[in-house]
Homo-oligomer: A and B are copies of this chain.
Amino acid sequence: MDKTAKIRLYVDAELGAGQPVAVTKDQAHYLFGVMRLKTGAMVALFNGRDGEWQAEVIVANKRNAVLECRSQSKPLQMPPDLWLLFAPIKKARTDFIVEKAAEMGAARICPVVTDYTQSERMRQDRLQAHAVEAAEQCGGTYVPEVADLTRLDKMLENWPQDRHLLFCDETRVGEPATDLAALPRGPWAILIGPEGGFSPDEVDFLRGLDFAHSISLGPRILRADTAAVAALALWQRALGDWV
C-alpha cells in the first residue's frame, strides 16, 4: 500500500518527529469529509519554517482531528530574497498575480497603490489564502507573506537601501536589453504597474532612484498579470534559484 502523502497542507503548528498536529476545521472537513481519509493515512504538512513532514492521521474526526509527524520529506527551502510589488487590478487577476508570485518563488508580495491604480480595495486575508493554496500546490515549503496595501511613494520613501528594484519600463522598447545576469546580487524587488502603466511622474521618479533598474518586456503591451510572471521568470533565471 502506497503510504506516501498525495495531499499537502499548510499548518501553523510546529513540525518535528513525533509532534502531534491539530488541523483547522476547514482542513478537517477537507481531509475527512471531502477526501475521506481514514486513520493511518498520510498527509504532507509544511509550516514555512520546518520543511515538509509526512504526518499520519491519528484521529480522523471532523471536530477533533489529530495528525502525528513521522519523518521530514523535504528540508525548508527558502525562495530568493525577492519581493513582488504590484498594483491591484480586477479581483480575478489580482488573485492570479498572488498565486503566480507564490509559484514563481517570490518571498514577499506587496500590493501598492500607484498613480493609475484603479482598484484600491483588496482583502489581505483572501490574498494570503491564495498564496497558501499556491504553496500547497507547487510543492514549496515556504509561503510568501502578502503585505497590506501601501502607497508606492510611501514605500519608496522608506525603501531599504540595500534592496534593488526592477521595474518594467514600456518606453524602453527597442533599446538594447539590460543584461540581467550582470545586475548585482542581493535583495531585490520587482515592480509591476497597473493597466495603463506608470504615470510620467512615476517613470521620472523611478528612473532617478539609484537602486532602480528598468527592463523592457517586448513590443506588445502585457497585462499586469502576464508582466508579473514574465518578469519573475527573467529574474529567477538570471539572478534567482532557477539553475
Contacts and interface: CB of A to CB of B under 8 A. Distances in A.
A39 to B, nearest CB: 28
Interface string A200-222: 00000000000000001111111
Contacts of A220: 103-105, 138-140
Contacts of A236: 218
Interface stretch (A17-25, A108-116, A185-193, A225-233): A225-233
A91 B241 CA distance: 31
A156 interface: no
Contacts of A38: none
A218 B137 contact: no
A184 interface: no
B222 A138 contact: yes
B105 A242 contact: no
A1 interface: no
Given A230-B229, A234-B233, A234-B234, A103 B176 contact: no
8 contacts: A103-B222, A174-B243, A177-B237, A177-B243, A216-B242, A217-B233, A230-B230, A230-B232
Interface of A: 77, 100, 103-105, 137-140, 174-177, 216-223, 226, 229-234, 236-237, 240-243
